[in-house]
Structure 1
Amino acid sequence: MTFFHFGNCIALAYGPYFLTYKYSGMPEYGAFWKCAQVGGMYMLTQLCKMLLLATFFPTSDGPPEMASLATELVKTTVDFGDVMGLSLVMGRVQGAGHIKVLITGLGWAAADLLLTRALPLWVGARGLEFDWKYIQISLDANISLVQHLNMALLVWLWWRNDLAAAVRPIVAVLLAVCVYRPLLPQILAILVGTWPTGFPLLAVSATPTLCTALIASHIFITHTASVRS
């Protein structure tokens, strides 16, 4: 039972990443090592963010729901470092627009999965008792994949010189929503009075991610069609 639970969590967490790589056309471009290089840039970016947070924003001992929303807002702003890192990486990746987005987004998401979720799954999912927490971690990894691909797409759109001027503010707003998404549970806790946990927390994370991804995809399709015509 323990082995099947662990295998199920691993398949649920890593399967979408493998399928995205295999069926998106990236193997034809020899994109594996490019994704690995993007992952290295992700690690460097996270190191810089941790140093910045440790220097200017020391952690508090209180529960997250008791932390000041203004303080968390300032801390979350540091996540714009991911946008800067994605911009640097995308400028170095060679290929068509959609391939650059896929390589950058998938490499970034895979590195995030390896560093933040691989160890909890390896240690916890092999326990003697079944726990829904590890299924939720695996599902959250899928949400993270969509989130990082969406951010890569928005960064690519932002740096397009031929992007319509009326669309650029929308792209900026969508990027801000992606960056400040971790604040939504705390905002919901302030409004409702209860900190969301379990599957409601997944819903809080997935809803804005899917909405921004749909809007960004529509902008990308419209922009691509207008460029071709």
Structure 2
Amino acid sequence: MTLFHFGNCFALAYFPYFITYKCSGLSEYNAFWRCVQAGATYLCVQLCKMLFLATFFPTWEGGAGVYDFVGEFMKATVDLADLLGLHLVMSRNAGKGEYKIMVAAMGWATAELIMSRCIPLWVGARGIEFDWKYVQMSFDSNISLVHYIAMAAGVWMFTRYDLPKSFRLPVTVLLGLCVYKAFLMELFVHVFLLGSWTVLLVKAVLTGSISLCSLFLFVTLVHSN
């Protein structure tokens, strides 16, 4: 039964990545090593972010139950480095915009999946007692994949020299939502005391909304050119 639960969690977490890689056409371009390079860039960016946070943002020493709004907001602002990292990955890859976006997003999301969820799933989901949090973790990994695709698309649009002025504000707002999404989720949880499944649902709805808006802007921009 333990292997059954582990297999389900593993499939929920990793299989959508495999399907995305195959169906997006990346396999036809032999983009595997490009995605690996994007993942390596992710690791470098996260290391720099950790060093920056450890240096300039010490541990919060406020009272229990007190939310450090300013501190958490400033920490979330450091995630702007992800935008720079995605732009660096896409600038080093030649090809159409769709190819650049998918390479950067797949490499970025897969690296995050391996670094933040692989060990907990491998150790926890194989435990004797089943826990729904590992299923939630698997669903959350799929949400992260959609999130990074939308973020990469936003970065690609924002850095285009021929981006119309009417697109500049919507794309900037979308990038801001991508960067501060985790901060907004933590704030909602603290204010409304949301449960784990509710948090997952809200995150899925918010990510889906951002992704649909990003897709609309991307399609409109490509067809207008």
TM-score range, shorter chain: over 0.9
Between the two proteins, what is the percent identity of the paired residues?
A: 49
**1:76 aligned onto 2:71:** no
Q: Which amino acid aligns with 1:103?
A: V
The verdict on how the C-alpha distance between 1:171 and 1:120 changes in structure 2, with shifts beyond 3 A counting, is same
Residue in structure 1 matched with residue 56 of structure 2 by the alignment: 56
Partner of 2:215: 217
For residues 82-111 of structure 1, the C-alpha deviation after alignment (integer angstroms, 9 at most, x for no partner) is 001111111001211101100110110000
In the alignment, is the contact (CA less than 8 A) between 1:53 and 1:75 conserved in 2?
A: yes
After the TM superposition, which residues 1-229 of structure 1 pair with which residues of structure 2 at under 5 Å, given as runs? Answer: 1-60=1-60, 66-192=66-192, 194=193, 196-227=194-225
Structure 1: which 5+ runs fail to align? none
**TM-score (normalizing by structure 1):** 0.94
Taking a change above 3 Å as real, the CA distance of residues 65 and 43 of structure 1, as seen in their structure-2 partners, is farther
Conserved? CA contact 1:69–1:186, under 8 Å = no
Deviations 1:33-79 (A, max 9, x none): 00000000000000000000000112236799533111100010000
Aligned residues: 225
| Deviations, residues 181-225 of structure 1 (Å, cap 9, x unaligned) | 112233224543x2x232111122122211111011001111111
- Please tell me the root mean square deviation across aligned C-alpha atoms, in Å: 1.5
Q: Does structure 2 conserve the Cα–Cα contact (< 8 Å) formed by 1:65 and 1:189?
A: no
Q: Hey, what's the Cα distance between the residues in 1 that align with 2:173 and 2:78?
A: 17
**Matches of 2:141 and 2:68 in 1, distance apart?**
27
Moved more, 215-224 or 66-75: 66-75
Q: Distance in 1 between matches of 2:65 and 2:179?
A: 19
Give secondary structure in 2 for the equivalent of 1:27: coil
> Any conservation in 2 of the 1:65–1:186 contact (CA below 8 Å)?
no
CA separation of 1:91 and 1:125: change in aligned 2, threshold 3 A = same
Partner Cα distance (1:63, 1:97) in 2:
48
Query: What SS does the corresponding residue of 1:26 show, helix, strand or coil?
Result: coil
| Alpha-carbon distance change, 65 to 30 in structure 1, aligned in 2, over 3 angstroms | farther
Q: Is the 8 A contact 2:87 2:155 kept in 1?
A: yes
1:62–1:114 Cα change, 3 Å:
farther
Q: TM-score, structure 2 length as denominator?
A: 0.96
Task: Letter of the 1:74 partner, please give it.
Answer: M
Is there any run of 5+ residues in structure 2 with no aligned partner, and where?
none
Residue type at the aligned position of 2:18: F
Distance across 2 between alignment mates of 1:20 and 1:70: 37
Stretch of structure 1 that moved more, 199-208 or 170-179: 199-208
